[in-house]
Each structure stands twice: as structure tokens, then as C-alpha cells.
Chains A and B, each alone.
Chain A
């Protein structure tokens, strides 16, 4: 089955700096890669996703890149703000079954 590895497990950045979270996957058949944000005590919510026919996708301060050959994808957050503090999960999917990474706790230092 699919295996998704996520790094780092914790990340602290100064407010205004950029944050990068990286994930690798094992199953070359995976074709959908979402990123979820989970604030303390709340449910995970989708923030951005990318499909395997696209190399990069951007939504305001958030971007995701995908390298199918190397089987890795990354989340980039620019101009970080205090409200970006949360746990972020990557996932990989073929058809409907998502396999999640273990999460990255991002802390924005004011």
C-alpha cells in the first residue's frame, strides 16, 4: 500500500518568513495530493490540493509543488502570519483512499 512520509515534524518560523513542509510517497499510481490544516481542537480542513497532471499550484500565500519523478511534493507558505500556526497534514491518494503523513506542527513566532 501507499506510504507517505512528512518532514519536519515541528517547524518554528518568524512571522513574515516562509515555511516549507515536504512529503514523499511510495505508490506511483497516486494521483491526488491534498494538504489539510488542523487548528487546535478543530477538524482538519483542506487548504490546497494538486493533481498529478500539474506541477505547481498557488493560492494567495500558499503554494504546492509536485515532482512525480522523485515522488515528492511540498507545501510553501509565504509571509507567514500568527493564524498560520497549526498542524499541517499532507496526503496521497489513488481513487478515494487517502494516506496521510504524520503531520507538521507549525509555530509562527511573533
Chain B
């Protein structure tokens, strides 16, 4: 059974703080993703990674960065948190290397971040 875990369920930070959100998957998946979920906007892709030390921008990368030092771990970094980054953050992973096929994405439980 695929297991994707996130470091915190709830997080409260102040404007200007540096924030780290951690995601770990235990199924040796190649691909990992970070989304934010906002009411009425669905899930929007922030960054994704096909392999260790590799990253690609998604649809809304501004204000975020990522790190993937190990295959099982993908971190989302808010360099200087702002109130408009208050949101639910979801991590996901999928099996296949970048190719012409697409595998199921498995989601973590989410981190609800509030920036005051």
C-alpha cells in the first residue's frame, strides 16, 4: 500500500518567516509533486520532480522553491511567507519515470498552512 506522509497537518507562521513543508513516500516512486488547494480553484501544481536533485516549475511557482536530496523526500520551501500563501498544501507521488505514460498520483494528507 502506497504511503505518502507530510510533516504537519496544521501549521501557523508569521509573515516573512521561512517555512519548510516536508513530504515522504515509501514506495520508491520516481515522481513527486507539490500542489496547493484553494476553494473554487481546485488543485494547482507548484513544483514537481522527476528524480533526485531534479525539479521543474508547475503552474504557480512564484514565491516557492523545492528540494529533493533523496528519492523518498520532497520539500517545499516558502522563503518569506506571505498571507496569500495561506492554503492547503498537498504532496503527491507517482511511480513511472518521465515517459509517454502517466501513473496514478497518490496524495498525502495535506498541510493546512496559515500565515498571519
Chain B's closest residue to A46 (CB) is B104
Q: Binding site of A, secondary structure by majority: helix, strand, loop or mixed?
A: strand
- Total contacts A-B at CB 8 Å: 58
Is the pair B90, A98 in contact by a Cβ cutoff of 8 Å? no
Contacting residue for A95 out of B42, B44, B102, CB 8 A? B102
Chain A binder among B67-75, B77-85, B92-100: B92-100
Is the pair B42, A100 in contact by a Cβ cutoff of 8 Å? yes
- Interface check B11, CB cutoff 8 A: no
Most buried by B among A43, A89, A94: A43
Is the pair A97, B109 in contact by a Cβ cutoff of 8 Å? no
Is the pair A44, B43 in contact by a Cβ cutoff of 8 Å? yes
- Interface check A99, CB cutoff 8 A: yes
Alpha-carbon distance A44/B48, docked complex (angstroms): 18
Alpha-carbon distance A96/B35, docked complex (angstroms): 14
- Residues of B43-58 contacting chain A, CB below 8 A: 43-45, 48, 50, 58
Which A residues lie at the B interface, using CB under 8 A? 1, 6, 9, 31-32, 34, 42-46, 49, 89, 93-103
